[in-house]
Amino acid sequence: MLIRHAPPLRTVARYATDRYEMLGSAGLSPDAIAWSFDGLRQAVFAGSLVKIVEPEKPEFEVEGASVAAAAERVATMSHDGRFLVIAAQPSVFDTVERRQLTFAEPRPGAGLRYQIEATGILLLASSKHISFVGRVVHEPAFHVDWTQVPTGTLVSRDGRTLLVVPHRPPGGEWSPSFTVQGGATLALSLRPEEPYRAALCPGGNLAAIVARGRLALFDTGSGKEFWGRPLAELSSGAASLARGVPDQLVFNPRGNTLRARRGDEEILWRLKP
């Protein structure tokens, strides 16, 4: 079952898919807005400031990062805990070298919200009607190379595999399929506004989709589902995850662990060959 700490801590728990074996856990601050894959390195808000907190290390302020309004308290962090992106700010914060790296927005004034992909190599920028994927380049000078993509598109770490998800383009008709650009269509179609959450592994060859009460894995080369289970079987001890789609679904950088988060509950499933 999911181990819970007494308030104010939240819990990150890791499970193996076959035995629900507890692999480890870490308490999350109730003020955490982003954290590393293991949950140990956390970005927390303190008033309008953002701080980095890590066990047995002194906390420090992320200079330049601000979450003045409650609605702005949305952020993402690379799995290693190094890079932090505040959704409303066009910057990457390097929390190791403690630098703010500001990038040019792909469409100024479009109300874009930003997030960093798990490996820290790609940025995603999106609004209600437009989306971009950007490759982060550090040398010789920091910048982001942006490419416009269909809204909701998932991108592999190397940028070579793009998975277009079900969407309704502005003024267009509902597109129900998950389609690899230039390749296969996955064996799943959704009705308009049917809830789902999808993730693409770093290598781009595997897609995970939660929809209709199931977690399923698809081969992006053939489009075929090769594994699937009801969420109720996979979310023992995490009631909210068993009842609906997670708020977040991401692979770790090696592509062998899948993390699902909904509200204050989070489970990590280890994928086995």
Q: In the prediction, which pLDDT does 11 show?
A: 39
Q: For residue 182, what are the contacts with CB-CB under 8 A and spacing of at least 6?
A: none
Task: Tell me what percent of the residues of the chain surpass a pLDDT of 70.
Answer: 85
CATH code of the domain covering residue 73: 2.130.10.10
- Is residue 161 located within the same domain as residue 267? yes
- Is residue 266 located within the same domain as residue 170? yes
Q: Which of 82, 17, 21, 28 is nearest to 266 (CA)?
A: 28
Domain that holds residue 74: 31-149
- pLDDT at 202 > cutoff 90: no
Tokens read off for 214: 């199931």
Task: Indicate the residue among 149, 179, 204 that finishes a domain.
Answer: 149
Is the separation of the CB atoms in 210 and 245 below 8 Å? Answer: yes
Task: Indicate the residue among 125, 149, 173 that finishes a domain.
Answer: 149
Task: Indicate the residue among 122, 149, 176 that finishes a domain.
Answer: 149
Tokens read off for 254: 């090696």
Q: Could you tell me the strand order of the sheet in which 22-28 lies?
A: 22-28, 10-16, 265-270, 257-262, 248-251
Q: In the prediction, which pLDDT does 15 show?
A: 35
Report d(CA 75, CA 32) in Å as an integer.
9
- pLDDT at 95 > cutoff 80: yes
Residue 175 DSSP code: B
Average per-residue pLDDT in the chain? Answer: 81
Q: What is the pLDDT averaged over residues 115-136?
A: 86
Q: How confident is the model at residue 96 (pLDDT cuts 50, 70, 90)?
A: very high
pLDDT digits (tens, 9 = 90+) for 220-261: 989 999 888 888 887 766 677 777 788 888 887 777 888 888
Q: How confident is the model at residue 23 (pLDDT cuts 50, 70, 90)?
A: very low
Is the separation of the CB atoms in 249 and 210 below 8 Å? Answer: yes
- Is residue 273 located within the same domain as residue 156? yes
Tokens read off for 195: 């809830």
Residue 265 DSSP code: E
Is the separation of the CB atoms in 56 and 69 below 8 Å? Answer: no
- Is residue 96 located within the same domain as residue 206? no
- Is residue 118 located within the same domain as residue 72? yes
- Is residue 227 located within the same domain as residue 252? yes
Q: In the prediction, which pLDDT does 193 show?
A: 81
- Is residue 145 located within the same domain as residue 163? no
Q: How many domains does the chain have?
A: 2
- pLDDT at 116 > cutoff 80: yes
